[in-house]
Structure 1
C-alpha cells in the first residue's frame, strides 16, 4: 500500500520533534559544561528551524491554526537562542580579522566550505559529492582567500599593490615577527570586545529567561505532542508523491525567483566592489543592499527542508550554496558591528581608522561570498536535468 502524504510528513516531523526533546534534555543535564550547553542549544535551534520551516511549506496539509501557532513560537525560540551564539562568533570573527589585518597572524588558507566553489584544476578531487568542480589552491586567482584578501594584499605591498616591494624590516613580515597589534587595532579590538560581550551577556540572560518561561514550556509541550501525533487536514490522505510535491515545488519556485532577482551578473566579476556600495550610508541603505541575499538564504533553507521530507535518504540539497550564504550573512553582520563601533562618540582617530579598515575587509568578504555563490549556483543550474 503506498505511503500517504500525511504519513510521510508525520514521519519527518516526529523525528525532528524527537531531536528537539533529546536536545532539551541534554541542555538541562549539561549544568556548567559550556561546550555541552552550546551543542545542545545548537541542536535545539536546528530542530526548531526544521519543524517551523516544514510547517510553513506544508501548511496546506495540516490544521492551519495549529501549524501557524506552533511555527511562530518555534521561530521565536530559534531567534532567541541564536543571539548568544551570533555575538560570540561575530566577536571571534572580528578579532581574527583585526589580527590578520595588523599582520599579527598569517593569512589563513582557503576555508573548506568555499573550496571547490570556483573553477579549479581538472585533476582535483570534487569538493562535495553533490557539486561539481575541485578545490582551488589557496591564493590562486579566483580562490576564496584571493577574493577576500585582495584589499589586504594591496595594503601590505603584496602582488597587486601600487606601493612596490617592501623590505622585511619595513613590511608585513616584521609586524608578523613581533606578533603585536597596532595601537588603533588594539583599541578597536577592546571596543568591539566590550560592546559584543555586553550584547552576548544580554542575549544569554534573554535565553535563560526564555527557557524558564511559561511560553517556552508551552512550546515544549506542543513539540512533545508532535512527537507522537500530527494534526492533519483531509488532503493528507492522498498519495505522498503527488501531494507533497506541490508545496515543495512552490518552495523551489520562490527560491528560483529570488535568485533571479539577485545581481548575479555583477557578482560573477571578482573585485567589482559592489559590496562596498553605500558602505558609509545609513543602516537602512545597507540592509536594503543585503536583504535580497539574506532572503535567498532563508528560501534555500526552506527548499532544503522540503527536499528532506520528500527524499529523506538523499544528499543535502545545495549544501555548498547554503554554507556560502551563511558566510555572507556572518560577514555582513560583522561589518555592521564594526560600523556601529566606529560611531562610538569620542574614540581616537586611529581607532576609528582601524574600524573602518575592518568594515571594508568584512564587506570584501561579503563580495567574495557573492562571487562564490554565483559560481556554485551556475554549476548547479548547468548540472540540473
Structure 2
C-alpha cells in the first residue's frame, strides 16, 4: 500500500509524533506494572495458589492486577508495532513483536484456565439444577427453554468408569442428604436425572484437570518473569519508554492510511466469515467435530478468532489516532464483547470434549460432559448471531 505523506497544511493529518507518544505511554505502563509486580512478590494467582504460597489476599490481588496490566500493555505495544510497522525501524520492530506476543500469551494462561473452570462448573450447575458457587451467583444464566433443549441432546458414548469424589462446591440436588431437599425443585425428567447423576463427577474431573493446568500456567508465568528472555524484553521496553526508533520517513508520513488499512483487513475478514455454515441456530456439524477423537481446534472457530484479533488491532489503532479519548462506537464495543464470549465458549466446549475423552470414565460422567459440550457450542452459535447483529447495526468508524 502506498504511504500517504504528511501534509503540514492538512489540519486533520496525524503525524508520527502521536505514534511515538502512544508507544512511550504504553511502555511506561508496562514498567509501572512490572515494578508493582516485583514489589508485591509476584504472588498473584488463583485462590488455591495464594493459599499454598501464604501470600496475603490484598498483596496477591495487587500482584495479579499488575500481571494483567503487564499483559495489557504488551498486547498494545505488539499490536501497534504490527499496524504501524512502516513507520518504525523494521529490524527492531520485527524482533520485539514476537517476544511481546510470547509474554502476553504466557501471562494470560492462568487467568484463562481459572475463568474456563468457573464457566464450565456454572454451566453444569445450571443444567443439572444444582446450587452454583457462591461467587458465581451474579453470573447470567441462559433461559430454561434453552437449557432444556440442550439437555435433550445426546453426546457420544464413553468408556467405563472410574472414581472421583464430588467437589465441595458442586453438589447434585439432595446428594448429601439422601433425599432431595425442599429447594430441589420439581422432579427431574429422565434426561435431567441422567445428567444429575454424572454432573458431580464431571465437575470433579474438570476441576482436577483445569486446576492442574492453572497451577502449571502459574508456575510457567513465574518462571518466564524471572528468565533472561523476559529481562531482554523489559530492557527493550525500557528503551522504548524514552526513545521510539522511527524510520527515516516517519516524520512525513500520515498515520491515518495505516489505521484505515487495519480497518479494511477487519472488514474483509468479517465479509469472509463462514456464515452459510456457522450461522445456523443449531450447528450439528460443530457438535460432531467436537465429540470426535480428533483433538485439533474446531475448524469453524478459527475465522472468528482471527476477526477478534483484527478487531483488537483496529481498536488499538484508534487509540493511537485519538490519544485523548477514543470515539465511542457502540456497535464496535458490542461486537468485541460477542467475540470474547465466542472465544470463551469455544474453548470451554473444547475442554469439556477433552475431558469426555478421559479413559475409563463412567458413562453418566461422559453423558454430563457431552451435554456440557453441546451447551457451550450453543453459546458459540449465540455469540456469532449477536456479533452479526452488532456489526450490521453500523459500520465501524476509523475517525
- Check the 8 A contact 1:264/1:374 in 2, yes or no: no
Question: Superposed, which structure 2 residues align to 1:171-190 within 5 Å?
Answer: 173-174=185-186, 182-190=196-204
Q: Take 1:384 and 1:50, find their aligned partners in 2: how far apart are those partners?
A: 17
Mean CA deviation greater in 69-78 or 317-326? 317-326
Partner residue of 1:378 out of 392, 395, 399 = 392
Partner residue of 1:86 out of 106, 112, 123 = 112
Question: Superposed, which structure 2 residues align to 1:69-218 within 5 Å?
Answer: 69-105=95-131, 145-146=142-143, 150-154=145-149, 173-174=185-186, 182-218=196-232
Q: Does 1:18 align with 2:28?
A: yes
Kindly state the Cα deviation for residue 307 of structure 1 after the two structures are TM-superposed.
1.1
Q: Take 1:4 and 1:379, find their aligned partners in 2: how far apart are those partners?
A: 28
Q: Take 1:208 and 1:220, find their aligned partners in 2: how far apart are those partners?
A: 15
Q: Residues 269 and 150 from structure 1, CA distance in 2 versus in 1: closer, same or farther, beyond 3 angstroms? A: farther
Kindly state the Cα deviation for residue 336 of structure 1 after the two structures are TM-superposed.
0.4
Q: Take 1:225 and 1:344, find their aligned partners in 2: how far apart are those partners?
A: 48
Kindly state the Cα deviation for residue 287 of structure 1 after the two structures are TM-superposed.
2.5
CA offsets 1:269-309 (integer angstroms, 9 cap, x no match): 64465653533235466521110000000011011111111
Kindly state the Cα deviation for residue 57 of structure 1 after the two structures are TM-superposed.
0.5
Q: Take 2:88 and 2:222, find their aligned partners in 1: how far apart are those partners?
A: 32
Q: Take 1:337 and 1:76, find their aligned partners in 2: how far apart are those partners?
A: 22
Q: Take 2:151 and 2:347, find their aligned partners in 1: how far apart are those partners?
A: 25
Kindly state the Cα deviation for residue 253 of structure 1 after the two structures are TM-superposed.
1.1
Partner residue of 1:300 out of 303, 311, 317 = 311
Partner residue of 1:329 out of 338, 343, 349 = 343
Q: Residues 334 and 155 from structure 1, CA distance in 2 versus in 1: closer, same or farther, beyond 3 angstroms? A: closer
Kindly state the Cα deviation for residue 265 of structure 1 after the two structures are TM-superposed.
5.6
Match of residue 302 from structure 2: 291
Match of residue 127 from structure 1: none
TM superposition score normalised by structure 2? 0.76
Q: Take 1:379 and 1:24, find their aligned partners in 2: how far apart are those partners?
A: 40
Gaps of 5+ in 1: 112-137, 139-144, 158-167
Match of residue 19 from structure 2: 9
Q: Take 2:391 and 2:78, find their aligned partners in 1: how far apart are those partners?
A: 26
Match of residue 69 from structure 2: 43
Q: Take 1:23 and 1:342, find their aligned partners in 2: how far apart are those partners?
A: 39
Kindly state the Cα deviation for residue 235 of structure 1 after the two structures are TM-superposed.
1.7
Q: Take 2:396 and 2:90, find their aligned partners in 1: how far apart are those partners?
A: 38
Match of residue 276 from structure 1: 287
Q: Residues 308 and 346 from structure 1, CA distance in 2 versus in 1: closer, same or farther, beyond 3 angstroms? A: same
C-alpha RMSD of matched pairs (Å): 3.0
Aligned-partner SS, 1:380: coil
Q: Residues 156 and 59 from structure 1, CA distance in 2 versus in 1: closer, same or farther, beyond 3 angstroms? A: closer
Q: Residues 156 and 351 from structure 1, CA distance in 2 versus in 1: closer, same or farther, beyond 3 angstroms? A: closer
Kindly state the Cα deviation for residue 383 of structure 1 after the two structures are TM-superposed.
9.3
Kindly state the Cα deviation for residue 320 of structure 1 after the two structures are TM-superposed.
1.7
Aligned residues: 334
Kindly state the Cα deviation for residue 238 of structure 1 after the two structures are TM-superposed.
1.3
